[in-house]
Amino acid sequence: MLCEGGFSLMETDQMNFQILQNAANALKTKGKLIFTTLNGLFPLFHSVKEFLSPEAKSGNATYGDCSFDLMTFRYTSTIYIEDDSNNKKEIQYNERYYVPSEITWLLKTLNFQNIDIFGAKLGAFSRADKLSTEDFEMLVIAEK
- Percent of the chain beyond pLDDT 90? 37
Strand partners, 29: none
Among candidates 80, 94, 97, 105, which has minimal Cα distance to 133?
Answer: 97
Number of domains in the chain: 1
Helix (H/G/I), strand (E/B), else coil: 76: strand
User: Is this model's pTM higher than 0.95 or not?
Assistant: no
Q: What is the DSSP code (8-state) at residue 18?
A: H
With beta carbons less than 8 A apart as the criterion, state whether 19 and 8 touch: yes
CB 103 within 8 A of CB 2: no
Domain that holds residue 100: 2-143
Q: What is the pLDDT of residues 72-81, one digit of tens each?
A: 888 888 888 8
pLDDT tens readout for residues 8-45: 556 788 888 888 898 899 999 999 999 888 899 988 88
